[in-house]
Amino acid sequence: MHEPPANSFASGVVPAQLLKQLPKVDLHLHIAGTLRPATLAELARRHGLPLPRPVDRLYAYRDFYDFIDVLRLSARAVRTAADFERMAYEAIEDAAAAGTRHVEMSFNPQYYMPTQVPYRVQIDGLAAGVQAARSDFGCSALLIASLDRGLPMDSAEHAMADIISQPHDLVVGIGVDGPEREGPPAKLAPLFERAGRAGLRRTAHVCEDNQTPQEAPPSNVRDCLLMLGCDRLDHGYNLLADDDGVHRARDGGVYFCVCGITSVKRNQTRRLQGIRAMREAGLRLTLNTDDPAMFHTDQTHTLGTVLEGCGWSWKEACEFSLAGVDASWLDADAKRALRQRFEHEIAALTDAPGTSTPAIQ
């Protein structure tokens, strides 16, 4: 006869400490949103930029537009290679502290055009931060150059020219973010086609639930896959309104890099319901932080919030852990090695005394 487990959380709350120990990947985070408030305040002061309020309330937003203003401040405050290095280093330090072992961070070259920071300065600084943090914290990182739909197309074209003419080993892909109502995916197709020819991987923010299904329609998922050549997507919740679209994405095996915390607090419950419904529909999901410092979260907190909100437990936590590896843009050897390491660590955590859990598939 089996003894009942002393501390089973097979279908209950997983302790935060165990979620922290679970090895994790973060594929959807914006480097501008990782800036610690104290770092942003220091850089703003150094570059003569006023803060909208004291540093301890810098990331307490009145509304969505106030959040955008703070994001814009962060873009103006990061100017030198040393600033970019520090931003990347601290982002990875904070990710590693939450048990994240690999990140793929988006940065928006267009954000730094008004202050005339050359693209080369941006990527040299970011790369220095990535390399130092990998050695100090054992967390690897790749970079995604992201375009903002909300900015003029000529600046997107300028950014793409820089991305293609100044390749870097760490910049493995491109993305697009910003409000979808600013234009359909087709608008960016020529730029994405050039990126594809240059060997860059492609992702896109699509069907985000902070926008209506009219502003961010399910058909955008199909267009991102077919017209932009994306091999994974960020968000995707509004796709649930289109059964055929869900079936196509499921059958195509596309990964959606969803985020458990949203800047719009009143949308938080809907966000969790969307994530749950996407998984129940058979879509492949990875779980990510989006703007961790600015949203007051990290991967452990995000995972705990999603498990609790969706009624999930250790099994789903481990699924997210391995899906992050599988959907990453690491090369095949690095991906295989990371997966083996994750499987080994998950097995050890699963077998640990007092952590009786179902077998992990």
Tell the smallest beta-carbon distance from residue 263 to Zn ion (Å): 10
85 forms part of the interface with Zn ion (CB under 5 A): no
104 forms part of the interface with Zn ion (CB under 5 A): no
180 forms part of the interface with Zn ion (CB under 5 A): no
d(CA 163, CA 119): 8
209 forms part of the interface with Zn ion (CB under 5 A): no
Under a CB-based contact definition with an 8 Å cutoff, are residues 222 and 191 in contact?
no
**Residue 221 or 346 having the CB closest to Zn ion:** 221
- Residue span 283-302 as binding mask against Zn ion, x where in contact by CB under 5 A, dash where not: -------x------------
**Residue 94 or 290 having the CB closest to Zn ion:** 290
Tell the smallest beta-carbon distance from residue 359 to Zn ion (Å): 34
Under a CB-based contact definition with an 8 Å cutoff, are residues 28 and 290 in contact?
yes
d(CA 334, CA 340): 10
94 forms part of the interface with Zn ion (CB under 5 A): no
**Residue 148 or 290 having the CB closest to Zn ion:** 290
**Residue at 323: amino acid letter:** A
Tell the smallest beta-carbon distance from residue 175 to Zn ion (Å): 8
Under a CB-based contact definition with an 8 Å cutoff, are residues 201 and 231 in contact?
yes
Q: How far is CA 256 from the centre of its chain?
A: 11
**Residue 178 or 309 having the CB closest to Zn ion:** 178
Residue 241 φ then ψ, to 5°: -75, -5
Under a CB-based contact definition with an 8 Å cutoff, are residues 37 and 55 in contact?
yes
Comparing every residue's Cβ against Zn ion, the nearest one is 290
**Residue 139 or 176 having the CB closest to Zn ion:** 176
Under a CB-based contact definition with an 8 Å cutoff, are residues 191 and 160 in contact?
yes
Residue ranges that bind Zn ion, judged by CB under 5 A: 290
